[in-house]
Amino acid sequence: MRRISGILKFAVFLAVITGIGIGIGWLATRPTSTDSAPPAALPDDNAFKPVPLPPSNSRPAGANSSGGAANSGVMVANWQDQIGDILASDSDISNKCSDLLNLFPHLPEAGQIEAAHHLSNLTSDDNYAPLAKILIDPATSTNVDDVLMLDVINRPGTVKLPTLLEIARNPDHPESADARSKLAMYLEDDYGTDWSTWESKINDYLTNNPD
């Protein structure tokens, strides 16, 4: 009986050892979760390509918020001081006007408005042509036009009427309709777009109303 009991114990021991060996072998050979997981998809290169930014100077061609074509695009620094220096200089009035006119295209709109006020006060009737050129230019800022229009209607007819006619006959000028209305007031008639008649009537007016 003892022999049989020993054999049974040995058989049980052998079975346990065999089971442990099988378990270890199974653990060693079974696939891990890392092996079974599909490989992660690589990121799409296009997903990280930066969107190109527009250039900093991509404003519409011809856009200008600082005085139109009357502005050269090359702005001067400390323009208030430069205008002040011109006015305070020992130069005569004609030279001051010349310096302001030379500075004018390089001024921002606020500077052009200030210069227009000074030019209106300093420019004589005999030397009005350069100032008239600024007023007649359709690209001049409308705020500058307002200053110069107020000045020109207080000039003698020989300066005022021909300047108003040049503005009126240009449909692209923002003050065209206003200039024509003013001409009609002085000549007491409106000749529409018959510019040759306007010119003739202005000459007649100036002959009969010498300054």
pLDDT tens readout for residues 150-171: 999 999 999 999 999 999 999 9
Residue 97 CA to residue 121 CA, distance in Å, equals 10
Q: Are residues 197 and 94 in the same domain?
A: yes
Q: Are 67 and 140 in contact (CB under 8 A)?
A: yes
* Alpha helices (H) in 70-194, listed in sequence order: 79-88, 93-103, 109-122, 129-136, 142-152, 157-168, 176-187
Residue 109 in tokens? 């709109």
Please choose, from the candidates 164, 142, 143, the residue with its C-alpha nearest in 3D space to the C-alpha of residue 153: 164
- Sign, CA dihedral 138-114-65-143, equals negative
Please choose, from the candidates 21, 19, 138, 139, the residue with its C-alpha nearest in 3D space to the C-alpha of residue 73: 139
Domain around 154: 75-208
Does residue 108 lie in a domain region?
yes
- Please count the structural domains in the chain: 2
Does residue 106 lie in a domain region?
yes
User: Does the pLDDT value for residue 210 go beyond 60?
Assistant: yes
Does residue 7 lie in a domain region?
yes
Q: Are 149 and 135 in contact (CB under 8 A)?
A: yes
User: In percent, how much of the chain has pLDDT > 70?
Assistant: 65
Q: Are residues 203 and 99 in the same domain?
A: yes
Q: Are residues 5 and 87 in the same domain?
A: no
DSSP 38: P
Does residue 42 lie in a domain region?
no
Residue 209 CA to residue 40 CA, distance in Å, equals 95
Between residues 18 and 147, which one has the greater pLDDT?
147
Q: Are residues 6 and 107 in the same domain?
A: no
Confidence of residue 25 (pLDDT cuts 50, 70, 90): low
User: Does the pLDDT value for residue 187 go beyond 60?
Assistant: yes
Does residue 50 lie in a domain region?
no
Residue 148 CA to residue 134 CA, distance in Å, equals 9
Whole-number mean pLDDT of the chain? 79
Exposure string (b/e) for 22-41, b if CB count within 10 Å is 16 or more? eeeeeeeeeeeeeeeeeeee
